[in-house]
Structure 1
Amino acid sequence: MNEKIVIETGKAPGAIGPYSQAIKTGNLLFTSGQLPIDPVTGKMVEGSTADRAHQVLRNLAAVIESAGGKLDDVVKTTVFLANIDDFQEVNTVYAEYFSSPFPARSAFQVAALPLGADIEIEAVVLIN
């Protein structure tokens, strides 16, 4: 039976509720959704949606790297957007972090995100 290993890093924002940054079981890593919070200041990144998407993906990479993986190991992402009109802007940033073969992905517009964020991304990662 696989155990659940809690993954935590100070290079990404800490949990804002009763959850872990990620859980590793076997060779799978399940990340919690990452918000555009600067882990140094603890504040939401200002600027464009693209600026916030960069921060989200840097946070996601930090959590994955702390578990021994890298963005190339991501097999599935879920992108939550407060406004689906930001989809193309986020796609442009997303393509800077992932390359072919791209992870499977779902993207949704949601009514609201924690702390008033406009983007959140979670991932499933295969770590060998």
Structure 2
Amino acid sequence: MSSTTTHPSLSVVSSTNAPAAVGPYSQAIRTGNLLFLSGCLGIDPAVGKLVEGGVEAQTEQALKNMKIVLEAGGADFSRVAKTTVFLASMDDFAAVNAIYARVFGDHKPARSCVQVARLPLNALFEIECIASLE
């Protein structure tokens, strides 16, 4: 875990075990008892590229990356209050939903899911979340 202060009430949270940000933003920001994660893509942190294998492989990898950043911030999936899922195609909703349901188990955070025109690196799946640290 790496933590730096950008403002007295904000701390940057990051992990070298997750892919670095692909732009001028942080992997996560902690403020008070909340952890805000930036969008996680299905990037293999070992090679810095999207995993091959379609939307299912990208979803699995993005959720692994999300788990790493959550843990760096002192949280886990059970503390996630809200997620936003971005899909390149809503045709992938059922496949993504099955993986999402397996990963979150009985915990069901609030969620939005939208189809977008394009994702960074032409990804098929992206997810962001807000977690409680209480």
Superposition TM-score, scaled by structure 1 size: 0.96
Q: Which residue does 1:81 correspond to in 2?
A: 87
For residue 38 of structure 1, the aligned residue among 21, 33, 44 is 44
Instruction: Report matched runs for 1:1-128 at 5 Å.
Output: 3-128=9-134
**Higher-strand-fraction structure:** 2
Percent identity of paired positions between Structure 1 and Structure 2: 50
CA distance in 1, matches of 2:45, 2:107: 29
Query: In structure 1, what is the Cα distance between the partners aligned to 2:105 and 2:64?
Result: 15
- Structure 2 unaligned blocks of 5 or more: 1-7
- 8 A Cα contact 1:31 1:124, kept in partner: yes
2:4 aligned residue: none
Is the 1:77–1:106 contact (alpha carbons within 8 Å) kept by the matching residues of 2? yes
The DSSP-based 3-state class of the residue aligned with 1:101 is coil
Please identify, of 17-26 and 93-102, the stretch whose mean Cα deviation from structure 2 is larger. Answer: 93-102
Residue by residue over 1:67-92, the C-alpha shift from the partner in whole angstroms, topping out at 9 and shown as x without a partner, is 11111100000000000000000001
Question: Could you say what the CA RMSD is over the residues aligned between the two structures, in angstroms?
Answer: 1.3
Distance in 1 separating the partners of 2:119 and 2:55: 14
- Worse overlay, 98-107 or 118-127: 98-107
